[in-house]
Every structure is written in C-alpha cells, then in structure tokens.
Amino acid sequence: MKWTTDEEQLLQQLRDNGTPPAEIARKLGRSTSAICQHAVRKLGLEPLRAPKRFWAASDTERLHEMFGLKPIGEIALELGRTEQSVRDKAKNEGLFRRDFPLS
C-alpha cells in the first residue's frame, strides 16, 4: 500500500511528539515494522524504537516464581512484557532447561 503525503506528515509529527511506534502504527493502520522502515528508508528519520524497559528486581523475582509453572505467554501478560522479553530474561537468569523449552 503506497504511503500518502498526509500519512508521511502524520508519521513525522507523531514521531516528533514522542508517540510510541506501536501507537503510530495503530493510528496509521500499518504494522510497527512498516512505519519504522518507512521512517528510516523513505523519510530519513532516526530509527523508531520503544524506550528500553529494564527489569525491576520484583519482576525478576516473579519470573522465577512463575517459570515452569505457567506458559511463557501467560507470564508475559502478567508482567506486561512481550513473550520474547520473558524468554530472553529467563535465559539470562539461567531458567532455561533442555527439559523445559521456552515456547
């Protein structure tokens, strides 16, 4: 789907206002990947990224408590994180085991 001038202007305006990429994508009816790529490749803007969210000690503790007892998707929902974030943190915390894959 071709980008209109109005969409490009809205993308730039929302980006300049600090709107998160997922919200920009929703407003434009496009995927987050599409708006990020268009911003960089066609508009020459800096890459759009959500701010890095560090793991609080309490969230890490909850991950340890839930890991192996609940599916990754459920843990992600309870912690307000993506499944990939939970998988990465579990692996970094040494929770990954051959007998319990992170899927």
- Is the pTM higher than 0.75? The answer reads no
- Candidates 48, 42, 4; CA nearest to 23 is 48
Q: Round to the nearest angstrom and report the end-to-end CA distance of the chain.
A: 33
More confident residue, 90 or 18: 90
List Cα–Cα distances, 75 to 41, 64, 101, in angstroms. Answer: 35, 10, 14
How far apart CA 75 and CA 60 sit, in angstroms, is 11
Tokens, residue 66: 């839930």
Q: What is the pLDDT of residue 100?
A: 53
How far apart CA 89 and CA 21 sit, in angstroms, is 23
Tens of pLDDT, residues 67-90 = 989 998 899 889 988 888 898 899
